Structures are given as C-alpha cells and as structure tokens.
Chain A
Amino acid sequence: MSLAIELKSITKRFGSFVANEDVNLAVESGKIHAIIGENGAGKTTLMNVLFGLLQPDEGEIWIDGEKKSLPNPAAAIAAGIGMVHQHFKLVPSLTVAENVFLGMEIRKGGLIDHAAQIKKTAELSKQFGLQVDPNERVGLLSVGIEQRIEILKVLARGARIIILDEPTAVLTPQESRELFQTLRGFVAQGMTVIFISHHLEEVMEVSDNVSVLRLGKNVASRPTAELTKSDLVQLMVGRLVSFDRLPRTPTAGKTMLEVEDLWCRDDRQLQALRGVSFGVRAGEIVGIAGVAGNGQTELAEVLSGLRPSSHGAIRLDGRAITGLTARDIRAAGVGHVPGDRLVRGVDRNASIAQNILMGRQDKSPWSKHGIIDRGYLQEQTQTLIKRFDIRAQGPQSTAKSLSGGNIQKIVLAREFTGGGNCLLIDQPTRGVDIGAQEQIHGEIMRQRDAGKAILVISVQLDELIRLADRILVMFGGTIMGEISGDRVDEEEIGMLMAGVIPEPRSNTVGAA
C-alpha cells in the first residue's frame, strides 16, 4: 500500500480561529477517498492547504513519499495535484477547448494553436469518458457539463491526484452517477481521487476510504466497508439523526397561493413553464420534484417577481399578484430562498448583519426615520446566528469567510423570519450537512405549523418525502402528476420525472 498523500499534523488558523487542528490524513494511491464533516468543519480549508491556496501554520505535506512545500497552486499542480472547486471558474464567452487550456495555451509560432487545443481536448474527453463538444461556448452549458470542463482542465494539467470539493451538490442524481463512473475510471487508471460530500449514500457507494472531520480535527479515517451510514452520522455530528418522514398533524387551511395556467421563458428565451397550475394552502408544504432544469427554478423566480410570466395568473390570499415587482411581492408576504445562493442570496463581501438586513432596511425597528438602528441589527443578527446555528465568528464576519453550508443558513435565517404567509424555498439544504439539514427541516416544519403556505423545490427526493404534504412532479415545464407525501411510490415518481405518465390522467392538477 503506497500513500499518494500524507498530511502530518496540519494546523491552519484564521486569526484566533482554528480551522484545522493537528490533522493527520493518509490517502492511499489508486483509491477514492471521501472527506465528510459538518459545515465549517474545515474540509475546504484542508483541501486548500493541500492545493497550495492556503499556507498551513504547522505541519507537513508529503506527496508520493516526498516532503513538499506548496507555496502556491502552481507548485501543487507541478506535484501532480488538481482541484475542482465548489464554485466553478470558467469564462462564459470562451469555448470549451479555450477554457480547458486557459493560462497554458498551446502555441505555434507565438499564436494560439486552436486546432491542437481542440484535438487535445477531444482526446482527453475520449480517454476519460467526459463527453463535451470542444467548440461549444461555455456560456449556455449546464452545470453538469461545466463540471466536466473543470475536470478536463485539471486533467490537461497532468494531475494524478484529483480533489473535488462537493462535486455533487449542484448535480442531478443522473449527473452524479455519471460523475462516479468517471471517478472509478480515474482510479482504474491508477489515479487518486479525494472528494468532499454531504451525501452519505454517495460516500458509501463510491469511496474506498473515508475521513471524518469534526471541529477542525480528523476524528476517524477508515475503510468505508467497515462503516454504516449511521456510523458516519454518529462520527460527524456525535448523535443519531433520523431520515424518516417528519410526523405531522393536518393543519391545512384555506388556499393561500394559487397558480393558474402559468407560462414563462428561460434566459435563452425557450419556453420554461408551459401551463402550470396548482395551489398551496396555509399550513401545507407542497414539494416540487423533478430532474433539475425542468422549469422548477423558473417557477420560483416567476412566483417571486424576478422573472416575467408570459401568460397565466398568480394569486396570494385571493389577491392577484401576477406581474408585480419583486419588491411588491415581498411586501405582500412572500419569502424566497433562491436556488443559487451566491448569485442572488447574499452579498459575499458584506457582513452577516448586512445580509440579514436585506429587504427589511426600511422597516421599523430595523430602521427609524431612514437611519439604521445598528444596535438592534447587531442584536437580532446575534439571535439568528444562535437560532440557525450559523458557525461564524460574529455578526461582522463577511459572508465569504463562512463555509458553504453556513452561507445557506444566512439566507434561510433571513427569509424565515421576514413575516408574511408564504415561503418559496428552492433547494433548502443544498450544500448543508446532515445535522444542519435536520435543523432546517425542523425549522421548515415549524413554519408550516405556524400556518405558512410553503413551496419546496428540491432535486433530492428523500428531502421531499421527509417534508412535503403533497409532491408535484415537474417535467418539461409542466406538472406531470401529484402524489401524496405519505404514500410515495418512488417508481411512480421516477416515471413522472422522466415524463412518462403511469396511467391515463390529466396533465395538470387543478388548484386545490
């Protein structure tokens, strides 16, 4: 057994905060090694250290049996390490091949040799089974394909050890399966893979070894085969977490949100919604299932006033809100957790407090006579940090200094406490750890029991089964069918998600 990587007693501090403490990590070569841990446990930090993006305060890095110092990513790349970050860094206006060779262009006579770059990209794509069209512009490609390009970039730089930070958080289950196929291909060719994930099933399925980080320390490194999923949960959060459907009493009241024959287009001007109708009652959670990209996100955007509809009606508590601005819809009592938290949900450079203030800056007691009450803001932010268990140094920490899952919690904390009677939640727990998922689900149930009408969009079926009173399945911009949350037949949902109607029935579901 030879070690591809050995981290010895790595400690990394940010100011007085210890993100990694005395971490030892041994990664066998030719294996898939998973790293799991709660949000803020220090997973990304540790990988950034390994990739030369951060310098450890203490400790040593050994690669292929040799001690290395990695002052920058270039040194890590030279040592054969490649990293696919959680947030992609592609240039939309360039082609796939140009992106793959960005910064290391193949040149001929001083000019970029496009033909060679395209040929090389096609070769790599074929060798590793990562299907892309080298000539296509990146701008309009799906996240799944963007990720393939990121992986190709890493391969083109000759990486033999590949780090992937939460690669599946943005993928559909189908895309995830394809990714795992690719990763297995890598180890079959003798390469080593390290990947971070919050999906424990995936970890169980694909990894050979797993390491658990907790509060910056490595609490366990074992062969995956020796562990069960609940062992992993125990190690991660130190207690048992249930994955069962949450118990509930029927609370559904009158129809709060009503959608009738809604149509809209996406950013490419293609029809994204084609006549969607449904209703959500007060005290009810309606789940939207479906493979990503079937109109779910557009639906949330239209309902929250961020995207115009081309036809149809939306009513909130009996009042028409079709075509109102985001501001007016917010004022009418609709909270929205957007699908892409980094683009819409937060200002990364602003503090947690400033992020919490958004949308309520004109309201008393947050401000009086147009002047922000900073004491109150500080105090409330502190309360929300506690209530939502946001792991941060304090209200003044910038959003970007937080771990991915904790950024999501800022958005939830803000939107769940905004008053109002309706919530649109797009991917409630994307990138959130198991323990925090349980908390967030509990919080969503409390909102339900308080009488809010809640629409939850998720690509994770088990999340919807846990939460939803009713599940609507979307495909190609329409609602294919409805299933009661307590009698879920996964096969039936699977067929609906693929656009197949199990038995003859009408295409849309009338407003309840």
Chain B
Amino acid sequence: MSDRFDSFFGQALAILFALGLGALVILTVDESPMRVLVTLLNGAFGSPERIAGTLLQTTPILICGIAACISFRAGLFNIGIEGQLFMGGFWATWVGFSFNLPPALHLLLAMAAAVFAGMAWIAIPAFFRARYKTNEVVSTILANYVAILITSYLTINWFKRSGGQSETPPIFESAYLPELFSFSRLNWGLIIGLALALAVHFFFTRTSRGYAISEMGANPKFAEYGGIDIKKQTFLVLIASGAVGGMAGGVEALGVHHRFMEGFAPGFGFDGVIAALLANGNPIGTIFTALFFGALRSGSLLLEVDTTASREIITVIQALIILAVSAQITIRRKASDSTAGERRWKF
C-alpha cells in the first residue's frame, strides 16, 4: 500500500522537477514559462473543440500504452508498438478500400485485419523471445523500422491513390469508426481505449491467467516453480500486446485518417510506451498519463501561434520527464532492498 503511494508520489515529484527544468529551458529562449503553461492549458482544454482535440490525440497513446502495459506486467518489453500500429493501420485501410461490404461487418473485418497485422508483426520477436530468450527489446525496436518502411513501400508502389501524394485511396464509409460529436473527429476509438484499460486491469487483478502472468513478471523463478509455462505465456503475452498495438493502428486509420499515408502516426507507439512506464504498468494509471501526453501534444499546436516558443519545446519537456522519472525509479530501487523478485518493469 505505502509502496504504491511512494511510487505515485515519487513519480509526481519527478514530473514536477522536469517541468521546472522545462521552465528554465523556456527562459533561455526569452519566453515566460507562465505564458507557455497558460497557452498549453488553453490549447489543450480551452474549448469543447480543443478538449475533443486533446482526447483525439490521447486515444492512440492510450491504446498503445495498454499494449505496453500488457507486456510490462509480464516482465517483457514490447517496444515495437509503433511498428505494430503502422502494420495495423495499413491493413485495416487495405480492407477498408479494397472491399465494399455492409457497414458493421466491414468495420469489424477491417478492425480484425488490424489486430491480426499487429499479432503477425510481433510473432517473430515473440517466438524468438519465448523459445531462445532473444532480447525482445532489440528485436521489437528493429521491427519498427521495417514496418514503417514496408508500409510506406506498399503505399507508394502498390496502392497509391491515382493523382495523389504518397497515400492510399480513402476507405469506404462503411468501414468508418463512428464519430462521437459533430464538431470533432473524436471517435469511438476513445471508448475502445477506455474499455481496454478496464478489461486489462480486470484481467491482471482478478483472473487466474492474469495472476499467473503478473507473477511471471514479478519473479519468473517463482512462477516456473509454481508450474507456470513460461515459454507459452511469454509468447501469448507478446502476441496479445501486438494485437492491441495493431488495434491502435486500426483505430487511427478507421477513425481519424480514413486512409493510410506516409508518416501515418508520429510517435504514438513510443509515447504509449512512456505513458505505460510512467503509470508503472497500471492500465488505469495509463489513462491519465496518456491524457497528459495527449494534452501536451494538442496544447503545443497553439504554442507557436501565441508565443515565441517553438513546438519542439514540448519534445524537450517530454525528454526531461523521461529522464527525471527513470532517475527517480532507479533511486527508489537502489534504496529499497532489491533482492530476488523485484518487478522487472519497474526499471
């Protein structure tokens, strides 16, 4: 109990520290940190449209974050969510424009394609991790670049919209993920993300399989001794994580862009990983950390309009947060007696 409080408190402190440093950086470009903060808040939450915009940015980060949580809880690091998202986005789009089907069915099939694409894209790293303990961090990161290049190759050389830029034809409306409000592209993806967070939380805290997987993450030797099939669960967890990563791509394609193009989703996968880390692998916590990153992204749109600070300042602040949080986690681990059974995903 107090452990959890400590970790939350430490995390909050680290973020504040990072924001403080960020303020110093802002001062160096002769801008007032206060004004930047107000502009950011205004840009993120200043009107219903802006709030919707923030939630629109939050959605893919949240879903990617959930994908990361699934792997972190098992003591595994799926850092290839960006790649799974690209694959999911591309194949959902492909189903979306290649077939003309009845509405609900079309959407369902396109979503299924996204999920399968995500699973397929992690299958090889998952297999090697489960069978030969090949480090999944390296293999999934490398798979990212391959995914981005393959989808871009397919888009440009095979499926380019005639007369258009490097993008596919638009999908049929029957495959659209319905929008929530008339004034924004905010869509059902947000609901999907929230439902996923709740479901994954329930899975890990209440089901026997979830228990087994958390214990595998906490102390693999204990889990093995207790009769948990480490290889099998490792494979399945990574596949599930990839499935959700693919789903994030499907939501972006079917809910927001309605097509696939180069630079389809800038860094949502990585932001998701960081959101999940900040939340210590807790899916409910990830809702809030994803919102934080979503707000930073959408708030920064107004930044260049209203202040002299550039949008890159947000990237700087994000990097500072990552540094501060990892330093904080490292310090806490050193302070606590870390013999066997320390959760690997606590960094």
- Interface of A with B (CB < 8 Å)? 87, 89, 304, 306, 325-327, 330-331, 336, 338, 342-350, 354, 357-359, 361-362, 366-367, 370-372, 374, 398, 400
Contact = CB atoms under 8 A, between A and B. Distances in A.
A372 B218 contact: no
A371 B208 contact: yes
Contacts of B224: 306, 326
A362 B208 contact: yes
Contacts of B128: none
B222 A372 contact: no
In the A-B complex, list the 4 residue pairs whose CB atoms are closest, starting with the nearest: A327-B227, A361-B208, A358-B226, A367-B208
Contact of B218 (A306, A330, A350, A371): A350
Given A362-B208, A370-B207, A342 B339 contact: yes
A370 B208 contact: yes
A336 B209 contact: no
Contact of A346 (B206, B222, B343): B222
A366 B206 CA distance: 12
A348 B211 contact: no
Interface in B216-237: 218-219, 221-229
A367 B224 CA distance: 20
Given A87-B339, A343-B340, A348-B340, A358 B208 contact: no
Contact of B227 (A330, A343, A350): A330
Given A361-B211, A371-B208, 6 more contacts: A325-B227, A331-B227, A343-B221, A344-B222, A348-B339, A350-B215
Contacts of B226: 326, 330, 358-359
B179 interface: no
A425 B207 CA distance: 30
Contact of B341 (A342, A361, A366): A342
A359 to B, nearest CB: 4
Interface in B173-208: 206-208
B207 A372 contact: yes
A354 B227 contact: no
Contacts of A327: 227-229
Contacts of A89: 337, 339
A483 B229 CA distance: 39
A350 B215 CA distance: 9
A347 B211 contact: no
A371 B199 CA distance: 13
Contacts of A345: 222, 225
A347 B222 contact: yes
B115 interface: no
A416 B225 CA distance: 15
B236 to A, nearest CB: 14
A372 B211 contact: yes
A401 to B, nearest CB: 10
Nearest to B217: A347
Interface of B: 3, 206-209, 211-212, 215, 218-219, 221-229, 337, 339-343
A346 B339 contact: no
A89 B218 CA distance: 19
Nearest to B209: A370
Contacts of A354: 211, 215
Contacts of A306: 224-225
A338 B225 contact: yes
Contacts of A336: 225
5 contacts: A330-B227, A344-B222, A345-B225, A350-B215, A361-B211
Contacts of A358: 215, 222-223, 226
Contacts of A330: 226-227
A393 B144 CA distance: 48
A349 B222 CA distance: 12
Given A342-B339, A372-B206, A347 B215 contact: yes
Given A346-B341, A347-B218, A361-B212, A371 B207 contact: yes
B219 A347 contact: yes
A55 to B, nearest CB: 14
Contacts of B222: 343-347, 358
A325 B229 CA distance: 8
Nearest to A326: B227
B346 to A, nearest CB: 9
A359 B340 contact: no
B342 A342 contact: no
A344 B225 contact: yes
B207 A349 contact: no
B69 to A, nearest CB: 17
Q: Determine which residue in B212, B227, B339, B342 has the highest number of CB atoms from chain A within 10 A of its CB, and name it.
A: B227
B74 to A, nearest CB: 14
Given A347-B218, A359-B227, A371-B206, A342 B211 contact: no
A339 to B, nearest CB: 11
B338 to A, nearest CB: 9
A350 B219 CA distance: 10
Contacts of A349: 3, 218, 341-343
B302 to A, nearest CB: 43
A370 B221 CA distance: 23
A350 B225 CA distance: 16
Q: Determine which residue in B225, B340, B342 has the highest number of CB atoms from chain A within 10 A of its CB, and name it.
A: B225
Contacts of B342: 349
A372 B212 CA distance: 11
Contacts of B341: 342-343, 346-349
B87 to A, nearest CB: 30
A372 B208 contact: yes
Contacts of B3: 349, 398
Contacts of A400: 337
Contacts of A338: 225
A371 B343 CA distance: 23
B207 A342 contact: no
A371 B206 CA distance: 6
Nearest to A397: B1
Contacts of B208: 361-362, 366-367, 370-372
Contacts of A359: 226-227
Contacts of A350: 215, 218
B89 to A, nearest CB: 32
A306 B224 CA distance: 8
A18 to B, nearest CB: 18
Contacts of B343: 349
A347 B343 CA distance: 10
Contact of A326 (B209, B219, B225, B337): B225
A144 B223 CA distance: 28
A400 B222 CA distance: 15
Nearest to A361: B208
Contacts of A367: 207-208
A369 to B, nearest CB: 9
Nearest to A330: B227
A343 B211 CA distance: 18
Nearest to B346: A349
A372 B343 CA distance: 22
B177 to A, nearest CB: 30
B194 to A, nearest CB: 21
A462 B342 CA distance: 36
Contacts of B228: 327
A438 to B, nearest CB: 27
A309 B3 CA distance: 41
A306 B212 CA distance: 17
A161 B343 CA distance: 35
A344 B343 CA distance: 14
Contacts of A361: 208, 211-212
A72 to B, nearest CB: 11
B44 to A, nearest CB: 36
